[in-house]
Amino acid sequence: MERDNQSLIPTLSAKELVERFSVQDRYWDQAMFEDFNQFGFHRLEHTQHLMIEALPPHRKNFHDFFFITKGVLHRGRGVDSYEVRPHTFCFIPAHQITYAALTSSDVEGFACHFTDKLLAGMQETTLQKLDFLHLDGQPLVEVPAHHTPTLIYLLERIEAEFIQDLENKYELIAAYLQTLFLELTRFIAPRSHKAAKSNETITARYKQLLAQHIQTTQSIQDYAEMLGITPNHLNKCVKQVTSRTARDWIQEVILLESKVLLAQTTLPIAEISFRLGITDQSYFGRFFKKKTGHTPSQYRKMIEMSGFLPEPS
């Protein structure tokens, strides 16, 4: 049987994400317009109390970003986690596994989600500049305090267009978004012009390949071949950049994928183990407990008690 856990992990739309992980409230009834799956915008201070404290790992079919003006937001993107503070944007590209840890009760700011459809009018050269929308890009963009009012103005214009139902609504939103994104490119450190095989580039590409291929191979040799380098060179690059070995990152991705499968599907644990390339279920159980402090069954039960495990089909 072919392993393909990518297709087994549900990829949630914006509406499905709200329905699954938030308290149903009049606010969402008013905010979820007909095109909510394509685009949405809200203030964090208006919705924070409606969302569960910590979103479990999941995938989504849209890009989103947060701009924090007060408080702290903790967000996970793939195997990395980030603390987002005031004057900072955090971007999560579509199809990236993501999760949210605890957020401060006083958090304020803006949240926006959108699909590639809204970016269709942008030139390819412009899209290439938007490093924060790439899976291997830097998700955080810190903005100098003196420049914040300009960006807040653009965010408020987007918000105003979203709330109103006027002619050319989404064309204007797309124009404001493009302006916002181009403004942000001024605060992104340019990618190194060193050789393409720089340690940072290799490490970022390695993490991206893990996310794409972990269900079919856990061999460092295979990933090194994909990158056109030796396993030893791959391990040295990854360790220099992250202080962790290439094998450590394979285990982190397996753990993250297993959490998503346990939380977002009703697959038997033996099947999940197999899908992740681990044929010994008892080893998978020991591995998962060592990393999390819980057995796979206990973890799934915790999610199920929270009400976020889908009903068996």
Predicted local confidence at residue 131, as pLDDT: 84
d(Cα 20, Cα 16) in Å, to the nearest integer?
6
d(Cα 79, Cα 250) in Å, to the nearest integer?
10
d(Cα 134, Cα 208) in Å, to the nearest integer?
10
Predicted local confidence at residue 80, as pLDDT: 82
Architecture of domain 199-305: Orthogonal Bundle (1.10)
Are 97 and 119 in contact by the 8 Å Cβ rule? The answer is no
What one-letter code names the amino acid at 290?
K
d(Cα 12, Cα 20) in Å, to the nearest integer?
9
Predicted local confidence at residue 5, as pLDDT: 44
pLDDT by residue for the chain (313 residues), tens only, comes to 334 444 456 678 888 888 877 766 666 666 666 788 899 999 999 877 667 667 778 888 999 999 999 999 999 887 788 999 999 999 999 888 888 877 888 999 999 999 989 888 888 778 878 888 887 778 999 999 999 999 999 999 999 999 888 889 999 999 999 999 999 999 987 654 444 458 888 998 898 888 878 888 899 999 999 999 999 999 999 999 889 999 999 999 999 889 888 887 888 999 999 888 888 999 999 999 999 999 999 998 887 776 554 444 3
Predicted local confidence at residue 171, as pLDDT: 93
Predicted local confidence at residue 238, as pLDDT: 94
Are 111 and 42 in contact by the 8 Å Cβ rule? The answer is yes
d(Cα 50, Cα 28) in Å, to the nearest integer?
9
Are 181 and 130 in contact by the 8 Å Cβ rule? The answer is yes
In the chain, list all ranges with CATH 2.60.120.280.
5-185
Predicted local confidence at residue 308, as pLDDT: 52
Predicted local confidence at residue 3, as pLDDT: 42
d(Cα 265, Cα 32) in Å, to the nearest integer?
26
Using only C-alpha atoms, what is the Rg of the chain? 20
In the chain, list all ranges with CATH 1.10.10.60.
199-305
d(Cα 207, Cα 191) in Å, to the nearest integer?
17
Are 5 and 276 in contact by the 8 Å Cβ rule? The answer is yes
d(Cα 147, Cα 98) in Å, to the nearest integer?
29
**159-181 as b/e, with b when 16 or more CB fall inside 10 Å?**
bebbeeeeeebbebbbbbbbebb
Pick 5-185's CATH classification: 3.40.50.20, 2.60.40.180, 1.10.10.10, 2.60.120.280.
2.60.120.280
Model-level pTM greater than 0.95? no
pLDDT digits (tens, 9 = 90+) for 95-123: 888 888 778 889 999 999 999 898 888 88
Q: Which long-range contacts (CB under 8 A, 24 or more apart) does 114-117 make?
A: 114/38, 114/39, 114/40, 114/62, 114/63, 114/64, 114/177, 115/37, 115/38, 115/39, 115/61, 115/62, 115/63, 116/63, 117/38
